[in-house]
Amino acid sequence: MSDAVCKQKLALVEKLGVFLETKEQLAPVAARILSYIILTGKKGTTFEDLVTILCASKSTISTHLNHLQDLNKIVYFTKVGDRKKYFMMNPDNIIQSIDNMINTWSVQKELHIEIKEYKEQVNSKTTDESSKFDLGFHDNYIQFLNEATNSILELKTKILSTINKL
């Protein structure tokens, strides 16, 4: 790998790491480990590589690797004749994220339906047109959630068919 590509990878590790700290609520080093593993791909990365590249102590890397494994974010594999563990993303990680997203959207949708029904009920009992609730936002948001859910379910189906081919 050229120096330019290595620099680009390390810059992406940092950028993705900052994002994952917030999104996944990970410690900074854990987020950088996960970022590096994502950008390394199926060939995997070793404990020693992570210590060297991320400039962190062995105990810090070990602690965060164990935590990421406990969260089912990463898995390891071994190679014949090699005693090292190679860490890679858990293939099910994206499916877990999609399922969480769908569950969140489902809860939001049900809440918006309930709020809309309440507002419709209030509107039906109110004669003053100027104080009636505008229901357009709820209709649009529910439609958005339905379309987003259908789209992400299509993606999940494609990902599952790819994983099953492996």
CA angle, 82 then 87 then 93, to 5°: 145
* Res 166: pLDDT: 60
Domain boundary among 64, 89, 114: 89
Give pLDDT < 50 ranges for the chain. Answer: none
pTM reported for the whole predicted model: 0.74
| Domain match, 105 and 121 both | yes
Pair 165, 128: CB distance under 8 Å: no
| Domain match, 71 and 97 both | no
The whole-angstrom separation of Cα 43 and Cα 41 is 6
- The pLDDT tens digits of the residues spanning 103-142 come to 999 999 999 999 999 999 999 999 998 899 999 999 999 9
CATH of the domain at 38: 1.10.10.10
Q: 64: domain range?
A: 3-89
DSSP, collapsed to helix, strand or coil, labels residue 128 as coil
The region that residue 41 occupies, defined by phi over 0 for left and psi between -120 and 50 for alpha, beta otherwise, is left
